[in-house]
Amino acid sequence: MQERTTTLAPIEYRLEGVSHSFPGAETAAIQNVDLTIRRGSFTALIGPSGCGKSTLLNMFAGLLTPSQGSVRFRGESLTGPAPQVGVMFQKPALLPWRTTLENILLPIEVAEGKAAARQKVDAAMELIETVGLGGFAHAHPWQLSGGMAQRAAICRMLITEPEILLLDEPFGALDELTRERMDAEIQRIALERDATVILVTHSIPESIFLADRVLAMAARPGRVNQIIDVDLPRPRTVDSVADPRYVQYLKDVRTALDRGHHD
Ligand SMILES: Nc1ncnc2c1ncn2[C@@H]1O[C@H](COP(=O)(O)OP(=O)(O)O)[C@@H](O)[C@H]1O
Ligand SMILES: [Mg+2]
């Protein structure tokens, strides 16, 4: 598989002087962030609780307008959720009365109606197979483990074929092994589709395993403190963690986070 060439890829997002303060808060949730995200890149946002990771992600998602500065998506000022963007939050939030398949088809049904959703059944079944949920298409959420529900949520995000994936600590609640499998799955999907991914995590190893660029954030006010470029070949595998550079990146990100903590 080829290394992705993201340096010259078109710009997806451009943030300039972005700040956000929630009403009544003493310090800014996000202060003065400048950032360029290119197509096909994989960015990880990492930092302590409350440093503004979700706030930033919600801005990329078009769900939150910053109180200052500009967020441009493909050259245009972002005014709401864009159809090319799929978002996955920490909790899978599947509707309990719907089966796996029906949950996955929900975004299509909401956007385009029941007939359009029926047309997507084959595609949904394929996704279900891909993430290893074959046999559970007609199960209800209470019959799924946490990891299975997360995989269903991934399918629900992918069914609309998003070009950009925004993931807010999607696997935080999973056991280590399941999480590693999901990470590998996300990498595979991103490479296959040349998708742009922004992942919020507070796992240093996960950030390095997945990202081309790790943004180490600090809190009070929330800001991007340091950017660590991760130059490891793809696809990354269990062997990547044996690469001496991987170990160095672990240290680099840890140092950046410590520094942010003591500022
Ligand atoms: N809807 C909200 N109203 C008020 N304050 C908020 C809201 N959402 C987040 N905050 C505050 O903004 C800061 C950043 O929050 P958040 O982006 O959720 O951080 P993170 O995702 O990094 O844990 C925190 O101090 C949090 O308490
Ligand atoms: Mg958060």
Output the residue whose Cα is nearest ligand 1's atom 9: 55
Could you tell me the distance, in angstroms and rounded to a whole number, from the CA of residue 156 to the centre of ligand 1? 26
Q: From CA 199, how far away is CA 183, in angstroms rounded? A: 11
Q: Ligand 1 pocket: which of 19, 20, 21, 22 to mutate (most atoms <8 Å of CB)?
A: 22
CA-based nearest residue to 52, from 262, 216, 229, 254: 216
Mean pLDDT of 157-186: 88
The pLDDT tens digits for 94-125 are: 999 999 999 999 999 999 999 999 999 999 99
Q: Where are the domains of the chain?
A: 7-84+164-263, 91-161
**66 preceded by cis ω (within 30°)?**
no
Checking if the pLDDT of 4 tops 60, the result is: no
Summarised one tens digit per residue, pLDDT across range 199-236 is 999 899 999 999 999 999 999 999 999 999 999 999 99
pTM of the model: 0.92
Q: Which residues line ligand 1 (CB under 6 A)?
A: 22, 25, 29, 49-55, 222
Question: Which residue's CA is the nearest one to ligand 1's atom 4?
Answer: 22
CA distance 8 to 151: 32
Do the Cβ atoms of 222 and 69 come closer than 8 Å?
A: no
What percent of the residues of the chain are helix, what percent strand, and what percent coil, each to the nearest 5? 40, 25, 40
CATH of domain 7-84+164-263: 3.40.50.300
- pLDDT (tens digit, 9 = 90+) per residue, 182-199? 898 899 989 999 999 999
The CA distance from 147 to 138, in Å, is 17
Burial of 92 (0-12, 13-18, 19+ CB in 10 A): buried
Separation of CA 240 and ligand 2 centre (Å): 28
The pLDDT assigned to 179 comes to 85
Q: 78-97, pLDDT tens digit by residue?
A: 999 998 999 998 888 899 99
pLDDT digits (tens, 9 = 90+) for 57-75: 999 999 999 999 999 999 9
Would you state the pLDDT for residue 6?
A: 52
If one compares 245 and 6, the residue with the highest pLDDT of the two is: 245
CA-based nearest residue to 140, from 91, 93, 100? 100
